[in-house]
Amino acid sequence: MSNASIRACLAALAATFLAATAATAGSFGVSPIRVDLDRGTRTGLVTVTNDDTRKLSFRMNLFEWTQDEQGADRNRESGDLIFFPQIMTVEPGDKRVIRIGTRAGEAGREKAYRLFIEELQDPGAGGAQGAQVAVLLRFGVPVFVAPPSGKPEPGFAKVALAKGKVEVGILNKGARTVRFDELTVKSGGEVIGRGAGWYVFPGATRAFEIPVPPDKCKPSGPLEITASAEGLEIRHTVESGPALCAP
């Protein structure tokens, strides 16, 4: 496997572990990998550690993080938050701190952002094109700015079984973001399907698909769908049938 492929795999793995307190993206570490700001906590710190044997250069960018009508993630460059530094170098084995904070005002609903930390290629390294600097790795730290009050209020907007998959739509009517860790499908108390969860923003609906093995999907009877989040669970049932279980 090439170095580029290894870096890409490490970056993908790092993006997966969003529920953890720290992550490693290739040659550098980031901690924490989620920042929560509110009326009582207007600033946060993100520490970047250089785990390599060479000096690393980084560039930071902030994007507002939203979800469209289909629940797909969208990023738009934003100046809503203050962060410093915007460019930095970290010596081998050393660490640097990025400070991020709110400007002013509070929204009625929680707002989400991503602080992208980009590892830059050394301009003097082989393959660099003149003054153009290549981005080797890009890691996004979620930043949430909470309203003075409110909570998430998730519920099922859609549950359907078709072609061997349970299609789920979850609507968050609350003022705070909710992150589902896992979605499961049970038949007769046995878990027969699992699906990865994700964030559902206030006012947004997120679509999920949970594959159900044909040999586990009963010709008739209800299937129970459970979505597990931060300290809460929501459940729904859907009827199964031979035509619905077949892929």
Verify cis geometry, omega within 30 degrees of 0, for the bond prior to 242. Answer: no
What are the extents of the domains in the chain? 3-145, 154-245
Residue 11 is predicted with a pLDDT of: 43
The whole-angstrom separation of Cα 164 and Cα 240 is: 10
**Matching fold, domains 3-145 and 154-245:** yes
pLDDT bracket for residue 25 (50, 70, 90): low
What does the radius of gyration of the chain's CA atoms come to, in whole angstroms? 21
132-161 burial: b if 16+ Cβ within 10 Å, else e: eeeebbebbbbbbbbbeeeebebeeeebeb
Q: Report CA-CA distances (Å) from 205 to 36, 134, 143, 198.
A: 22, 36, 20, 11
- Looking at 3.40.710.10, 2.60.40.10, 2.60.120.920, 3.40.50.1820, the CATH number of the domain 154-245 comes to 2.60.40.10
Predicted TM-score (pTM) of this structure: 0.80
Give the tens place of pLDDT for each residue, 65-114. 999 877 889 999 999 999 999 999 999 999 999 999 998 666 788 999 99
Average pLDDT over residues 144-151: 91
Residue 106 is predicted with a pLDDT of: 66
Q: Is 3-145 CATH 2.60.40.10? A: yes
Tokens at 166, concatenated: 């349970």
Average pLDDT over residues 187-193: 88
The whole-angstrom separation of Cα 50 and Cα 40 is: 31
